[in-house]
Chains A and B, each alone.
Chain A
């Protein structure tokens, strides 16, 4: 009997990734509809201390596998651990973040379990008639959406990009159960040798975590064109992101890229500055709460998704906006 909605909780260096918490929020909705439990799957070296956090964010149970071998992500030991959990607990649904870890682990697992897997879902719903998980994802570079079912195999597995689902507010009153799975790992489970781990964290915040994004497109004209956007971002405490064109031209680092081949973001405000808005870009940002676009081409597709569209010259508007914003915020501080 397959039951319950399981979520793989990603952690790196014993720090939880936000996507795991977001998936717990979604899992909570799905499980309530199925009248089932939400189970968080926590795998790592020393991670038990997070059980409480996971429960307060929606989990009813936490299943933990701890071993020194699980410190850094490696495909085989992680597959072995989660496979063991799937075989032991038989989930009806299992969700993973569509990260460079989730998109390596989930397909390997789905093949081992012999079940279906749907990648990069943007919407997950329960079909009220059949109780099946309806997994909706973009296809053809975001030109089309497809709803996928996995009817006869369990668990129904899906990956979801960070930033797509909303996490549940922390509920201090929630309680849950913790299960520690005893597993033994040996050197035979390690079929790759990690010679070096090189961290590339910049001081900048990950764009998926930013409340406000000021995003640059080809229209900024060159690497110099970023400076006014950076000044504006600094004034309103935002991060700078970009379209693919800006990354491909080497004007900004790859980790700033929004879109199908970059990151999916849903900030409170997304400024699209000089971005025309190819479908691949829109796929990564159209869930933003407020979209403000500035572009000199009135036919740019970005205006189709913008809440506020300004047809005009960004080289004039952005510095003016920065100036007015500084004044505005200074007045506000005076009042406070």
Chain B
């Protein structure tokens, strides 16, 4: 079985802060990580590989700037067999449509039975690229997957909804998008970290995949959506704040407020 895991290198948004003076994002010093949903998907792939390490091959694929190689090295150190970096200025500025077209083009260059993407990336939170890759490749998709059991020529997955789960059986090849809660990613092993730096990372630019896609659908020009503007979130007006009340007074103050607003 051949598994391709699509990962994204993202800034850790938990530590992203706004510059209070310029109201712009402070990117310096923000660590880059493998997107958590993707990392859980990679772990799921490696667990499948653990059941038959000789027969099952895990390839990680990412699209991004050259430094996204770090994310691939980390994936190799966790146990992935191969890594591919899709990088080209022609891919830059892409929205989810153009991104999914680019990645689908690269996937057409590969053999796969199962494609795994994270449900969503923490820097964009769109959850769109996975399903859109599946559509471009005409594959069945299951998103919000929180458990995977491999079968002979199918997988059985647990698909999360707000109020229920579906247990689904899907014939391979197919694409799933995984949730962080699916699996706790393993640590890199010392031996594998060493190996990871010896392994070769395949680097593909536009020339390597251009016969597999329509070039009109790439990058900023191929993106149907455009960011018109971005701005920091406006805070609301300052409310009342008390730091010197006894608990009795505090409780009384809260009740007054609820009465004032006709809540009680």
Does A241 count as interface, using CB distance less than 8 angstroms?
no
Does B47 count as interface, using CB distance less than 8 angstroms?
no
- Residues on B with C-beta less than 8 A from A12 are 161, 163-164
Contact partner, B252, options A140, A206, A324, Cβ 8 Å = A324
Number of interface residues of A (CB under 8 A): 90
Does B108 count as interface, using CB distance less than 8 angstroms?
no
What is the CB-to-nearest-CB distance from B133 to chain A, in angstroms, rounded to a whole number?
8
What is the CB-to-nearest-CB distance from A207 to chain B, in angstroms, rounded to a whole number?
11
Are B264 and A116 in contact (CB-based, < 8 A)? Answer: no
Are A255 and B233 in contact (CB-based, < 8 A)? Answer: no
Q: B252's closest neighbor in chain A, by CB?
A: A324
Does A231 count as interface, using CB distance less than 8 angstroms?
no
Q: B262's closest neighbor in chain A, by CB?
A: A268
**Would A139 and B230 be within 8 Å (CB), given that A198-B165, A324-B251, A328-B255 are in contact?**
yes
Are B241 and A311 in contact (CB-based, < 8 A)? Answer: yes
Are B161 and A101 in contact (CB-based, < 8 A)? Answer: yes
Most buried by A among B144, B156, B229: B229
Are A291 and B239 in contact (CB-based, < 8 A)? Answer: yes
Does B7 count as interface, using CB distance less than 8 angstroms?
no
Contact partner, A141, options B125, B242, B250, Cβ 8 Å = B125
Within the assembled complex, what's the spacing in Å between the Cα atoms of A52 and B125?
35
Within the assembled complex, what's the spacing in Å between the Cα atoms of A55 and B14?
43
Within the assembled complex, what's the spacing in Å between the Cα atoms of A153 and B129?
18
Within the assembled complex, what's the spacing in Å between the Cα atoms of A205 and B74?
42
Interface residues in B218-237 (C-beta closer than 8 Å to A): 223-233, 235-236
- Residues on B with C-beta less than 8 A from A72 are 166
Are A141 and B135 in contact (CB-based, < 8 A)? Answer: no
Segment of A41-49, A60-68, A173-181, A300-308 in the binding face? A300-308
Are A311 and B243 in contact (CB-based, < 8 A)? Answer: yes
- Residues on B with C-beta less than 8 A from A153 are 224
Does A36 count as interface, using CB distance less than 8 angstroms?
no
- Residues on A with C-beta less than 8 A from B160 are 100
Number of interface residues of B (CB under 8 A): 78
Segment of A85-93, A103-111, A217-225 in the binding face? A103-111
Does A145 count as interface, using CB distance less than 8 angstroms?
yes
Does B95 count as interface, using CB distance less than 8 angstroms?
yes
Are B124 and A139 in contact (CB-based, < 8 A)? Answer: yes
Interface residues in B239-264 (C-beta closer than 8 Å to A): 239-243, 245, 247-248, 250-255, 257-258, 261, 263-264
Interface residues in B111-146 (C-beta closer than 8 Å to A): 122-132, 134-136, 140-144
Segment of A1-9, A22-30, A163-171, A186-194 in the binding face? A186-194
- Residues on B with C-beta less than 8 A from A144 are 18, 25, 230-233
What is the CB-to-nearest-CB distance from A100 to chain B, in angstroms, rounded to a whole number?
5
Does A138 count as interface, using CB distance less than 8 angstroms?
yes
**Would A148 and B225 be within 8 Å (CB), given that A104-B131, A141-B16, A307-B240 are in contact?**
yes
Are B239 and A320 in contact (CB-based, < 8 A)? Answer: no
**Would A99 and B226 be within 8 Å (CB), given that A303-B241, A320-B250, A329-B264 are in contact?**
no
Are A100 and B144 in contact (CB-based, < 8 A)? Answer: yes
Are A107 and B132 in contact (CB-based, < 8 A)? Answer: yes
- Residues on B with C-beta less than 8 A from A145 are 230-233
**Would A196 and B166 be within 8 Å (CB), given that A111-B131, A309-B242, A328-B255 are in contact?**
yes
Are B131 and A236 in contact (CB-based, < 8 A)? Answer: no
What is the CB-to-nearest-CB distance from A225 to chain B, in angstroms, rounded to a whole number?
16
CB 8 Å contact bits of A110-145 with B (1 = contact, 0 = none): 111011111110000000000000100011111111
What is the CB-to-nearest-CB distance from A163 to chain B, in angstroms, rounded to a whole number?
12
Does B171 count as interface, using CB distance less than 8 angstroms?
yes
Does A33 count as interface, using CB distance less than 8 angstroms?
no
Q: B227's closest neighbor in chain A, by CB?
A: A146
**Would A120 and B125 be within 8 Å (CB), given that A100-B161, A192-B170 are in contact?**
yes
- Residues on A with C-beta less than 8 A from B122 are 141
- Residues on B with C-beta less than 8 A from A152 are 224
Offer 28 A-B interface pairs, CB within 8 angstroms, sorted by A. Answer: A12-B163, A100-B160, A103-B128, A103-B143, A104-B143, A111-B97, A115-B97, A116-B225, A141-B14, A143-B17, A143-B232, A146-B229, A147-B231, A150-B225, A153-B224, A192-B168, A194-B167, A198-B166, A200-B165, A290-B263, A294-B250, A298-B243, A309-B241, A313-B247, A320-B248, A320-B251, A321-B255, A325-B264
7 nearest CB pairs, A to B: A141-B13, A116-B224, A116-B225, A311-B243, A111-B135, A309-B241, A107-B128
Where the two chains meet, the residues of A that have a C-beta atom closer than 8 Å to any C-beta of B are 12, 72-73, 75-76, 99-101, 103-104, 106-108, 110-112, 114-120, 134, 138-153, 191-201, 206, 212, 236, 254-255, 260, 268-269, 278-280, 286, 289-292, 294, 298, 303-313, 316-317, 320-321, 323-325, 328-329, 332
Instruction: List 4 additional A-B contacts (Cβ < 8 Å) besides A200-B164, A254-B181, A317-B251.
Output: A141-B16, A145-B231, A197-B165, A268-B263
